[in-house]
Amino acid sequence: MKLENNRAGKLNRMQSDYECFVPHNLKDIKLNIDDEMNVLINKAYLLLGRLDGMAMLLPDISLFVSMYVQKEAVISSQIEGTQASLVDILQKDNENEKIKETEEIVNYVKATNYAFKRLKEFPLCMRLIKETHSILLSEVRGNEKMPGEFRKSQNWIGYAGSTLKNASYIPPAPYEMDVCLSDLEKYINEDDNISNLIKIALIHYQFETIHPFLDGNGRMGRLLIILYLKEKNLIEYPVLYLSYYFKKNRDRYYELLNNVRFKGEFENWIKFFITGICEISKDAIYSIQRIANLKKNDIDKIKNFSSTNTSNLILIYDYLLKHPFVYSEDIKEVLNVSTPTINKLLANLVEMGILELVSDKKRYRQYVYKEYVDILSEGTFI
């Protein structure tokens, strides 16, 4: 590691003959905010407002949020090496081996829901970050690495098998990390004249640069983005996540983070980050529009198909929005009717083009609401 300048921080040589990077306090960084950045910021605010407005108009916002959090959990976990897709999460198929890999994703959903509730009780702070991290790593890969506790030893970033000698990046030593975290917490909560979108770009960079946990820093750092946007009332619901953008631009993402550290290129990083907010906001808006249109069209299909079974078909349809992969046995939880009647209703939905048959095993016939799953799962395949 070699610094081209010391705009972002300094290198400290340790007794074990390696150098760790110690970032400067963000409040001391002077930025060059040009016209291009201002245009991006204004565009991002407009899109965030539109996204939040559209989300609030959805009649079943809690369902959409639940599905969107699961999607984010999948993509964020994939960045860390998890091989499961959203389909693996939604598909209730005991023969699917990838189901065993989904605990990290389930934890991400739990951690998101927990953190959003805790934000109602006290500000975004290191205590909340540690509590959320403990849920992220509970009983999954990395649970032996002090979940919910900041590290007491040196860590580093590099390819598998790398050491301190050949790491691509070495964060601050623990005694310096504590000061950095204290400064970051103050920066998160202090009032200033900086755009909140610039601030969260810097906060995410600083958190990943400090790398305060032995494992799970990436997932926690990505979750921190949505928590800050919520804290600053830029979003009401957790429907904007940058993991898909970071996944698509993974090499560029890591390159720009390192360019801030070693070259002081804050402005390039901020523009990249805010471009991501614009892109992902547009994607989320489009997803909401498609799901709303799909629901309207399919409800119309059901109403036009049958006058006698409409109410039962709509009850099954509402269940499909929560559970898009379904067995005929599952419908017994929804309707108090015979198995032949259930099979007939599901056949009606297949005939309408709403459901597709996945597995035609005699006892375990599985169906999927494919168009719905296709919209939700975009970007989640390995």
253 is in an annotated binding site: yes
Q: Is 158 annotated as a binding residue?
A: no
Q: Is 216 annotated as a binding residue?
A: yes
Q: Would you call 52 exposed, middle or buried from its count of C-beta atoms within 10 A (0-12, 13-18, 19+)?
A: buried
**Residue 192 is assigned to a ligand binding site:** no
| CA-to-CA separations, 369 to 75, 294, 312, in angstroms, rounded | 21, 11, 17
Among residues 24, 133, 204, 211, the one annotated as catalytic is 211
Is position 211 annotated as part of the catalytic site?
yes
From 337, 330, 317, select the one nearest 93 (Cα to Cα).
330
142 is in an annotated binding site: no
Is 217 assigned to a binding site?
Answer: yes
4 among the known binding-site residues?
Answer: no
Does 161 carry a binding-site annotation? no
Check the annotation: does 254 bind a ligand: yes
Check the annotation: does 221 bind a ligand: yes
Annotated binding-site residue? 298: no
The number of residues making up the chain comes to 382
215 assigned binding-site residue: yes
Residues tagged active-site: 211
Q: List the binding residues for ATP.
A: 80, 211, 215-222, 253-254
Q: List the binding residues.
A: 80, 211, 215-222, 253-254
